[in-house]
Amino acid sequence: MPDSTHTFKQLENFVQKNYTNPDLDLLRRANQTAVAAHEGKTRLTGEPFINHPIAVAYRLAEMGLHLNVVVAGLLHDVVEDSEYEIEDVRIEFGDDIASLVDSVTKLKRNVNYRGVERYAENLRKMFLAMASDVRVVFMKFADRLHNLQTLYGQPKHKQERIARESLEIYAPIAGRLGMSEIKGELEDYAFAYLQPKEYERMKSIMDIKDSDDLDKIYDLIAVRIVVNNVEDCYAALGVLHQKWRPVPGRIKDYIAQPKPNGYQSLHTTMFTSEGEVVEFQIRTQEMHELSEYGVAAHWRYKEGSGQQERNMRWMEELAQIQKELASKKDFLEQLEYMKIDVFNDRIFVFTPQGDVIDLPEGATPIDFAYAIHSKVGDKCVAARINDVMRNLDTKLTSGDIIEIVTDKNRKAPNPDWLKFARTRHARKKIRDATRNTVKGWFVGVLHGREKGGK
C-alpha cells in the first residue's frame, strides 16, 4: 500500500506546480489553523493527527479539484475535533470553504452505522442530498481512502466495519459515478481486511510467474495503452492481435458499447511470447480521464466557472448517469437508488438516530412527524431542531436533526397545521384525523336517534 504520509511542504509544492496562480497564503493559513486545532492529538496509528487532513488535502489536489476544496480538506476535521466552530471557519475562510467543511462534518455526524441495509439506504440518500455540491462527495472519498490506508491502527471490530462500509457502500457509489480508480482503491484496501486469506492468496498468485491456473491471473497483469483518438484504439488492437494470440471470449469493445457508468475502452487478453497472460486496455486520453475520475474528470483544473454553473453541470451529469442506468434492464437496483429524481426541490433531514427522511423543500416539523409515523404526527406538540426548540411551522433545511416532542394525551392534530404542512401524506392524515372526529360525532348522534326510535 502506498505511503500515505505527506508533509505540508509537499502539498504546497504540489499545489504550486499544478494550479494556476494558487492562493498559497490561503493554503498556509488553513494549515496553521489545522495544526493548532489538532495540536497534541495523535491518530491510533501513532502518527500526529495533522497528517490525516494533509493527506486528504493532498489527495484532493491530486484529483485536481478547486483550491477551496483542498483548503476545506485541510480543515475538514477541525470543527469535529476542537473548540473551533463553523462560524470561525466562515469568518476566516469565507462562505464557500465553511459550507464544504460544514457538509462533511454533518455527513459524518448524521450517518450512523445500524446494519448495512439501513446504513446503505441512509448513505445513498445522503449522497444524493450532497449532490447539490458534488465536491463534498470527493472530500468524503478522500477522507475515507486515507482512513483505509491507516486502518491498521484501528481495533479489529472497527477495521471490519470500516472495510465493509467501504466495500459495500462507498465503492459502488464511486463506481456509479464512474470513478473507477477510486472504486478500485476502496475495494483493494477493504479486501485486505475483509478477506485476509483471499488477499494473501491473490498476492501470492501475483508473485508466482508460472501458474498452471491461468484463469486466476487474467486480471492481474494489465497494460493500459492511451492513444490520441478512437481510430488509433482499434488500430492498436489490430497490431496487438497480430503480434500475440488473444484469449477467446476476452475481447471487449466498451467503446462501441460503453458500460452503464460511461466507461469506454477496448479490452483484450493475450498470451505473450513469454507465455504470460496480459490484459490490455486501450483508450483515448479523454476516456482515460473519465475512467479515472468519473464525473470529476470534467472538473479538473477548471477554475473560473462559478459555483452555480458547476452545480448545474453536476446535476446534468447525474441526470445523465441516471438516464443511462434507467435504460438498462439489469440495473434495477440502481434504478431503485436513483428513484429520488428531483434533487432540486428535496431536502434531507435526520432523526436523532441518524435515519434520513426526505421531504419537499419548505417542509416543516409536522411533515417530518407524519413521515415518521401518523401517531407521531397526531400527538405532536413541539419540535427540537438541532437541539433547539422551534415552532411547528419552522421551515426545515437539509442536514437538520429533528426530534419531535409528543403528548400522549393529545387527542387529534390541529387543523391549523394544514396551513404549513407541505407533504400530501401529512395533509391527508391531518384531514383524516379531523374528519374522523367529526364523523365519530355524527355516528354518535345517529346512534342515539336509532336508540331513541326503538
Binding piece for Mn ion, criterion CB under 5 A, among 25-33, 74-82, 394-402, 432-440:
74-82
C-alpha cell at 298: 470534467
Answer yes or no: are the C-beta atoms of 437 and 414 closer than 8 Å. Answer: no
Contact call for residue 77 and Mn ion (CB under 5 A): yes
Whole-angstrom distance, CA of residue 320 vs CA of residue 294? 13
Q: Return the number of the residue (77 or 317) whose C-beta is nearest Mn ion.
A: 77
Rg (CA), the chain: 27
CB of 151 to Mn ion, least distance (A): 13
Whole-angstrom distance, CA of residue 411 vs CA of residue 444? 17
Helix (H/G/I), strand (E/B), else coil: 359: strand
Q: Return the number of the residue (143 or 317) whose C-beta is nearest Mn ion.
A: 143
Q: Return the number of the residue (34 or 347) whose C-beta is nearest Mn ion.
A: 34
CB of 295 to Mn ion, least distance (A): 22
CB of 109 to Mn ion, least distance (A): 12
Binding piece for Mn ion, criterion CB under 5 A, among 11-19, 41-49, 69-77, 327-335:
69-77
Binding piece for Mn ion, criterion CB under 5 A, among 70-78, 238-246, 268-276, 292-300:
70-78
Contact call for residue 317 and Mn ion (CB under 5 A): no
Q: Return the number of the residue (79 or 356) whose C-beta is nearest Mn ion.
A: 79
Q: Return the number of the residue (60 or 321) whose C-beta is nearest Mn ion.
A: 60
Binding piece for Mn ion, criterion CB under 5 A, among 72-80, 303-311, 333-341, 435-443:
72-80
Q: Return the number of the residue (39 or 333) whose C-beta is nearest Mn ion.
A: 39
CB of 85 to Mn ion, least distance (A): 18
Binding piece for Mn ion, criterion CB under 5 A, among 29-37, 76-84, 191-199, 336-344:
76-84
C-alpha cell at 448: 342515539
C-alpha cell at 392: 411547528
Answer yes or no: are the C-beta atoms of 398 and 344 closer than 8 Å. Answer: no
Catalytic residue among 12, 47, 81, 232: 81
Sign of the dihedral through C-alpha 159, 162, 167, 168 = positive
CB of 104 to Mn ion, least distance (A): 8
Binding piece for Mn ion, criterion CB under 5 A, among 75-83, 286-294, 321-329, 398-406:
75-83
Residue of 284, 286, 247 lying closest to 266 (CA atoms): 284
Sign of the dihedral through C-alpha 30, 36, 38, 39 = positive
- Residue 303 half-sphere exposure, CB side, CA atoms within 13 Å? 14
Contact call for residue 378 and Mn ion (CB under 5 A): no
- Residue 35 half-sphere exposure, CB side, CA atoms within 13 Å? 8
Amino acid at the residue 47: E
CB of 99 to Mn ion, least distance (A): 17
Interface of this chain with Mn ion, residues 130 to 159, rule: CB under 5 A: 143
Catalytic residue among 39, 80, 87, 336: 80
C-alpha cell at 276: 504470460
Is 81 a catalytic site residue?
A: yes
Whole-angstrom distance, CA of residue 132 vs CA of residue 318? 11
Instruction: Name the residue number minimizing CB distance to Mn ion.
Output: 143
| DSSP states of 81-99 | HSS--HHHHHHHHHHHHHH
DSSP 168: I
C-alpha cell at 370: 407524519
The alpha-helical segments, DSSP class H, found in 23-66 are 24-37, 51-62
Question: What is the total count of residues that contact Mn ion (CB under 5 A)?
Answer: 2
CB of 60 to Mn ion, least distance (A): 12
CB of 234 to Mn ion, least distance (A): 44
Sign of the dihedral through C-alpha 432, 434, 435, 440 = positive
CB of 52 to Mn ion, least distance (A): 6
Q: Return the number of the residue (123 or 237) whose C-beta is nearest Mn ion.
A: 123
Instruction: Give 154-162 contacts, CB < 8 A, sequence gap 24+.
Output: 154/44, 159/193, 160/193, 160/194, 161/113, 162/193
Rounded to the nearest 10 degrees, what angle do helices 134-149 and 86-110 cross at? 70
Is 80 a catalytic site residue?
A: yes
Whole-angstrom distance, CA of residue 17 vs CA of residue 62? 11
Q: Return the number of the residue (72 or 295) whose C-beta is nearest Mn ion.
A: 72
Number of neighbours of residue 379 by Cβ within 10 angstroms: 19
C-alpha cell at 430: 391531518
Q: Return the number of the residue (49 or 350) whose C-beta is nearest Mn ion.
A: 49
> Which residues are part of the catalytic machinery?
80-81
- Report the interface residues with Mn ion, using CB under 5 A: 77, 143
